[in-house]
Structure 1
Amino acid sequence: MSGDNRSAAAGARSATQWVALVLGIVFLVVGVLGFIPGITTDYDTMTWAGHHSDAKLLGIFEVSVLHNVVHLAFGVAGLLMARSLSLARTYLIGGGVVYFAVWIYGVSINRDDAGNFLPVNDADNWLHLGLAVVMILVGGFLPPLETRNAEPASHRVD
Structure 2
Amino acid sequence: MATPGTQGTPKAAPTAGKAPVQKAALAVGAVFLLVGILGFIPGITTDYDKLAFAGHHSGAMLFGIFAVSVLHNVVHLLFGVAGVALHGTFNGAKWYLIGGGLVYAALWVYGLVVGRHSPANFVPFNSADNWLHLGLAAGMLALGILLGRVPSTAPHDRRHA
TM-score, reference length from structure 2: 0.85
Q: Structure 1 stretch 66-75 or stretch 110-119: which is displaced more?
A: 110-119
Asked if residue 37 in structure 1 is aligned to residue 39 in structure 2, the reply is: no
Q: CA deviation at 1:53?
A: 0.6
Asked if residue 64 in structure 1 is aligned to residue 69 in structure 2, the reply is: yes
Q: CA deviation at 1:152?
A: 3.4
Instruction: Give the corresponding residue for 1:115.
Output: 120
How many pairs does the alignment contain? 147
Aligned partners of 2:26, 2:46: CA distance in 1, in Å?
28
Q: Structure 1 stretch 136-145 or stretch 121-130: which is displaced more?
A: 136-145
Aligned partners of 2:68, 2:105: CA distance in 1, in Å?
18
Aligned partners of 2:145, 2:21: CA distance in 1, in Å?
10
Q: Which sections of structure 1, spanning at least 5 residues, go unmatched?
A: 1-7
Aligned partners of 2:19 and 2:152 also within 8 Å: no
Asked if residue 85 in structure 1 is aligned to residue 104 in structure 2, the reply is: no
Aligned partners of 1:87, 1:148: CA distance in 2, in Å?
15
Aligned partners of 2:134, 2:155: CA distance in 1, in Å?
31
Instruction: Give the corresponding residue for 1:100.
Output: 105
Q: CA deviation at 1:36?
A: 0.4
Q: State the identity as a percent.
A: 53
Asked if residue 143 in structure 1 is aligned to residue 152 in structure 2, the reply is: no
| Structure 1 outlier segments of 4+, above 6 Å | 148-151
Aligned partners of 2:50 and 2:59 also within 8 Å: yes
Q: Which sections of structure 2, spanning at least 5 residues, go unmatched?
A: 1-10
Larger proportion of helix: 1
Instruction: Give the corresponding residue for 1:4.
Output: none
Aligned partners of 2:159, 2:63: CA distance in 1, in Å?
52
Q: Structure 1 stretch 143-152 or stretch 48-57: which is displaced more?
A: 143-152
Aligned partners of 1:86, 1:149: CA distance in 2, in Å?
12
Q: CA deviation at 1:153?
A: 3.9
Instruction: Give the corresponding residue for 1:5.
Output: none
Q: CA deviation at 1:44?
A: 0.5
Aligned partners of 2:28 and 2:83 also within 8 Å: yes
| Structure 2 CA distance for partners of 1:147 and 1:13, relative to 1, 3 Å | closer
